[in-house]
């Protein structure tokens, strides 16, 4: 079992991965703009890997995505006396789109001839960058308030136990009044 400082270190590693992903966005934008209206092929991934070797391009079925992946052991884990623990999310989307959307052309990564639609990809990147920034701010805030959250959690669990203990088991079951703490 990890102590609080070790768990915080794992969370900080995940925040670091998100921050490193955000740092490559400007260079990825440049590469995508250079490939605008060019037929999609392996050259895009090769150019993106020159920006950062942790970038992966995936295009399968109707999905197209570009991810920043932390593959190095040190980047995505901590070592403790009894083993290693890994971050829960070791990759961050930079682009996540459809190859062809039947609902909205702005969601298309490519046109009908499989040519890269940079405008759509850049708009998608802007949306994702905003989400990553919000996530970083939120997680950082939560990390600094973990003691308050733990106190609130313990109070809620005590209130749930009091509620469940107050009503007889039979009545709780028939009237569906039991508050469950694990689903």
In tens, the pLDDT along 103-117 reads 777 889 998 899 999
**Both structure tokens of 152:** 């609130």
- pLDDT of 27 above 80: yes
**Both structure tokens of 78:** 């901590």
HSE of 173, CA atoms in CB hemisphere, 13 A: 3
Residue 27 burial (10 A CB sphere; 0-12, 13-18, 19+): middle
Q: What band does 181 get if pLDDT is binned at 50, 70 and 90? A: confident
Average the pLDDT over 78-94 and give the result: 92
Nearest to 109 by CA among 173, 180, 58, 170: 58
> What are the residue boundaries of the structural domains of the chain, listed by start?
4-144, 146-183
Q: Which single residue is written with the structure tokens 């009044």?
A: 177
Average the pLDDT over 136-164 and give the result: 96
Q: What band does 183 get if pLDDT is binned at 50, 70 and 90? A: low
CA–CA distance, 98 with 107 (Å, rounded to integer): 6
């Amino acid at each position: 079992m990890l102590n609080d400082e070790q768990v915080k270190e794992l969370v900080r590693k995940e925040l670091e991965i998100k921050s490193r992903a955000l740092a490559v966005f400007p260079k990825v934008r440049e590469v995508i703009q250079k490939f605008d209206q060019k037929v999609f092929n392996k050259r895009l991934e090769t150019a993106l890997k020159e920006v950062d070797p942790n970038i992966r391009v995936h295009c399968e079925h109707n999905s197209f995505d570009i991810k920043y992946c932390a593959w190095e052991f040190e980047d995505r884990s901590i070592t403790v006396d009894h083993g290693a623990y890994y971050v829960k999310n070791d990759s961050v989307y930079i682009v996540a789109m459809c190859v062809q959307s039947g609902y909205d052309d702005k969601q298309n990564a490519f046109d009908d001839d499989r040519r890269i639609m940079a405008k759509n990809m850049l708009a998608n990147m802007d949306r994702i960058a905003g989400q990553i920034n919000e996530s970083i701010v939120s997680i950082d805030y939560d990390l600094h308030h973990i003691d308050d959250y733990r106190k609130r959690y313990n109070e809620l669990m005590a209130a749930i136990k009091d509620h469940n203990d107050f009503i007889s088991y039979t009545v709780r079951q028939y009237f569906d009044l039991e508050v469950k703490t694990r689903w």
